[in-house]
Amino acid sequence: MERKASRRENECEEKTSNSESSELDKDYKTSLITLNVGGYLYITQKQTLTKYPDSFLEGIINGRIMCPFDADGHYFIDRDGLLFRHILNFLRNGELLLPEGFRENQLLAQEAEFFQLKVLSEAVKSRWEKEQLATRETTFLEITDSHDRSQGLRIFCNAPEFIAKIKSRIVLVSKSRLDGFPEEFSVSSNIIQFKYFIKSENGTRLVLKEDNTFVCTLETLKFEAIMTALKCGFRLLTSLDCSRGSIVHSDALHFIK
């Protein structure tokens, strides 16, 4: 009798456990939403789509806004399916994170307005305005010899982040060769000023002479700038002074993507 009672108790516990597990699975499945946006399928959680009250997506999920279904029973939204990934990422992260080189700000702003996401719309427009301002202003980096200003190099580009990258690269390479002599060059917003340049020494990179004077060649700095540009996907638009017949002899470099 005791064994039969024990078996019944175990069976009841298993049924209860299975029932609870089934309910949890059911709740989890119903919390997943599949959207068909312009032919692209996105699967996400209900809480993600309802993150911003009064938004278009929140209205659909909570039944305030009528939305058609596709042949498979998924919500169908006739908008840009590729751009919707950025809408969804914004809902997930709570901030605007776009890939490097993104150029569809105007389209994304329109999508944000359609989905009634005011915060996203403002973030996109702010980013767009900053990019427009940056394209109107050519950024430059000047590398000079503090003893002879005629010896130097100017690097031009309309991408401020690229100029910043070249600047940090040159400073990094210079520091790695200084071995405890950081006073041998100074850095300001758009200028790197070296204490001494060597005009030309074939094969010479950044070295220390016996008297601990830091020296470098302009050719070395041009090489570093061009290599950094190529790695970042930029190309040399023109050498702004080609009269000497060679890029390494030019006074300025102009990069563009």
Query: pLDDT tens digits for 125-175?
Result: 988 887 776 555 557 888 887 766 667 788 888 777 888 888 887 777 666
- pLDDT at site 98: 92
206 pLDDT above the threshold of 70: no
Quick one: which of 225, 233, 189 has its CA closest to 99?
233
- The residue segments making up the domain with residue 100 are 32-135
Q: Which residue has the higher pLDDT, 67 or 243?
A: 67
43 pLDDT above the threshold of 60: yes
- Please check whether residue 106 lies inside any domain of the structure: yes
Residue type, 231: K
For the chain, the average pLDDT equals: 76
In this structure, the answer to whether residues 184 and 252 fall within a common structural domain is yes
In this structure, the answer to whether residues 148 and 227 fall within a common structural domain is yes
36 pLDDT above the threshold of 90: yes
20 pLDDT above the threshold of 60: no
In our burial notation (b when 16+ CB lie closer than 10 A, e otherwise), range 180-210 reads eeeebbeeeeeebbbbbbbeeeeeeebeeee
Q: Confidence band (pLDDT; 50, 70, 90) for 22?
A: low
For residue 47, what is the domain's CATH number? 3.30.710.10
Task: Report DSSP state, residue 151.
Answer: E
C-alpha distances (whole Å) from 120 to each of 7, 56, 183 are 59, 13, 46
- pLDDT at site 198: 53
Q: CA neighbours within 13 Å on the CB side: how many for 75?
A: 24
Domain final position from 135, 168, 198: 135
Domain final position from 135, 153, 182: 135
Residues in the chain: 257
In this structure, the answer to whether residues 54 and 160 fall within a common structural domain is no
52 pLDDT above the threshold of 80: yes
